[in-house]
Chains A and B, each alone.
Chain A
Amino acid sequence: MNWKRTFTLLEEKHAQKQSSRRSFDISDAANIALFLAAFVGIWQLVFLLKIWPAYLMPSPAMVITEIGDLIENNSLPIGIGVTLARLAGGFAVSLGIGVGVGLAMVKFRGFGKTMSSFAVGLLTFPSIAWVPFSIIFFGFNDSAILFVVVMASVFSVIITTYSSIRNIPPIYLRAARNMGANGFALFRHVMIPAATPSLILGIRQAWSFAWHALIGAEMLITTLVGLGYILSVGRDINHMETIIATMITIFVIGIIFDRIIFRKIEERVRSRWGLDQHTE
């Protein structure tokens, strides 16, 4: 048929927009290397100028040696392991409760309205202010730390779940219902994927709240393990190398999660949806 041929012609013209998007290419790596070199160079220079004594401002080499020592005596590997386990545990609880409450808010209108003002209010509450409450309630233990982490992030998860689902374009839900989607199938096959781009953004933010709160809680709620605890030990014994070495570790972990894990997921979803067209 004639119109069939015309379609094919139209398709030829409509070149498929295949994007060769890579989040991390050579020039990115070069930029980072350059930035690091400049940073370490300035640090070394400041050290050499002896503005501050070495116990206040150690050299990059001294800090690197310290990192080696901390790895060798196992305090850094154990600290990282414990801290990440607490992060995973606390964040998992936050996600579970937050998504559950968020969904209940979508389901029950009145509860949703009340709860959203309450949760938004608690979003601005400084998570570290939960620490005294938590210590007295739970004692100096993992539960107290987990509690602070959950309180720091759960409201963000609640709000993000609630708003992501409520902001799904109604046309998707109509089309799905029309094709026979109801109840759990609608939720699983339409609401969750449709809300994903916005959910990821919110969860990424909730993760960073959890991470901030965790290090603070570990410093204040002494449990003898964890990166925050190593920091507080460094302060107690006036050992700047330990403090800086741990800070660098915390920084690197943050970068790995945020830049690499979360951004990768986000980019995959966004490119699939075609949400990054304007940046090309």
Chain B
Amino acid sequence: MITSEYRQSATAVLKVNEVSKAFQYASPDSQTHVVLNRVSIDVKDGEFVTIVGPSGCGKSTLLNIIAGLESPDSGSILVKGERKVSTSRDRIVIFQEGALFPWLTVLENVEFGLKLAGVSLDKRRQAARHFVDTVQLSRFANSYIYQLSGGMKQRVAIARALAIDPDILLMDEPFAALDVQTRDLLHNQVLHLHETTKKTILFVTHNINEAVLLGDRVVVMSPRTGSIKKEFAISLPRPRDVGSPEMTVIKRQILNELEEDFHFARRETRTETIQ
């Protein structure tokens, strides 16, 4: 477990400060559903943090708030000590799927952020080629998105984010829709990118294996309370073997945290049905 001193460390490049968010339902009884409840995370420069939690626990909501795509009800987001209230090019999201533009080629997708920034055609083409190369898709530079497989699409999404050169990459279950082999390859590629670019990465997933395989630190979210339950620092060297005894122990601990919630949720629904 992480001590509270670590959480308060001053070297954080990203500081999620007591963020809360509730959604109001448009139903007649107009209930509010608390999705995030005073969530705080500090991420150090160059750190690879994974956030794990079951579907619907608010991972995407948290990531969108960090990106500035949604606003929190309370709390704040600080990047390098500066408060952020809207999107900016220092935090780029890689979405689960479907976020590439089908009207553009691979190359044009990758240079999109640079075009918005007013970079000249020659320069941005050159940069885009470099990043398409980085994800080994040079041969598909002029293909349209529908011509790519799921894994290739996510590599384009990674290249598109890298081209903008953000400080922080926010990855929202980017490989959840892929088959196991492709996912393994992309895990290696992301780790390689992290090693070479030293980017700060916040990676959200519902997959415990993925979380422990990638993260320097795993943050476990609780769907019941909408808050962070526990954090696990993982100092094992990479590449990691999810089957190793050390990993099994960590995975077991994470699973326990999640199952506790699950049992609680089950009990709650049972009493509800009885009433």
Contact = CB atoms under 8 A, between A and B. Distances in A.
Nearest to A18: B147
Contact of A7 (B95, B99, B185): B185
Contacts of B151: 10
B103 interface: yes
Interface in A160-178: 169, 171-172, 174-178
B101 A179 contact: no
Interface in A258-280: 269, 272-274, 277
A152 interface: no
Interface stretch (B37-45, B113-121, B210-218): B113-121
In which size bucket is the chain A interface?
Answer: 20 to 34
A20 interface: no
Interface stretch (A51-59, A113-121, A187-195): A187-195
B116 A172 contact: no
B189 interface: yes
Given A11-B139, A172-B99, A178-B67, A274 B147 contact: yes
Given A7-B136, A180-B116, 19 more contacts: A7-B185, A8-B136, A10-B149, A14-B152, A172-B101, A174-B93, A177-B69, A177-B87, A178-B69, A178-B93, A180-B89, A181-B116, A189-B112, A193-B101, A193-B103, A269-B103, A273-B102, A273-B146, A274-B147
A186 to B, nearest CB: 9
Contacts of A205: none
A17 B88 CA distance: 36
15 contacts: A3-B188, A7-B136, A11-B137, A11-B152, A14-B149, A16-B140, A171-B98, A174-B69, A174-B93, A178-B91, A178-B93, A179-B113, A180-B87, A193-B104, A274-B144
Interface residues of B, number: 42
A196 interface: yes
A1 B185 CA distance: 11
Contacts of A179: 89, 92, 112-113, 116, 160, 164
A1 B89 contact: no
Interface in A1-57: 1, 3-4, 6-8, 10-11, 14, 16-18
A185 interface: yes
B25 to A, nearest CB: 18
B95 A6 contact: no
B192 interface: yes
Contacts of A3: 185, 188-189
Contacts of A174: 64, 69, 93, 95, 99
B143 interface: yes
Q: 9 smallest A-B Cβ distances: which pairs?
A: A274-B146, A175-B99, A179-B113, A193-B103, A273-B102, A3-B188, A7-B136, A180-B116, A171-B99
A4 B87 contact: no
Nearest to B161: A179
Nearest to A272: B144
B192 A169 contact: no
Interface in A71-110: none
A194 B191 CA distance: 33
Given A171-B99, A273-B102, A180 B136 contact: no
Nearest to A172: B101
B103 A194 contact: yes
Contacts, number: 92
A241 to B, nearest CB: 49
Contacts of A169: 98
Of B89, B112, B117, the most chain A CB neighbours within 10 A belong to B112
Interface in B101-152: 101-104, 112-113, 115-117, 136-137, 139-140, 143-149, 151-152
B118 to A, nearest CB: 10
B169 to A, nearest CB: 11
Given A169-B98, A171-B95, A178-B92, A185 B116 contact: yes
Interface in A218-247: none
A17 B147 contact: yes
Given A194-B103, A274-B102, A180 B88 contact: yes
Of A6, A18, A269, the most chain B CB neighbours within 10 A belong to A6
A78 to B, nearest CB: 41
Interface in A129-182: 169, 171-172, 174-181
Given A177-B69, A180-B89, A180-B117, A277 B146 contact: yes
B197 to A, nearest CB: 16
B136 A4 contact: yes
Contacts of B103: 193-194, 196, 269, 272-273
B107 to A, nearest CB: 14
Nearest to B104: A193
A129 B31 CA distance: 51
A9 to B, nearest CB: 10
Interface in B32-62: none
Contacts of A18: 147
A137 to B, nearest CB: 42
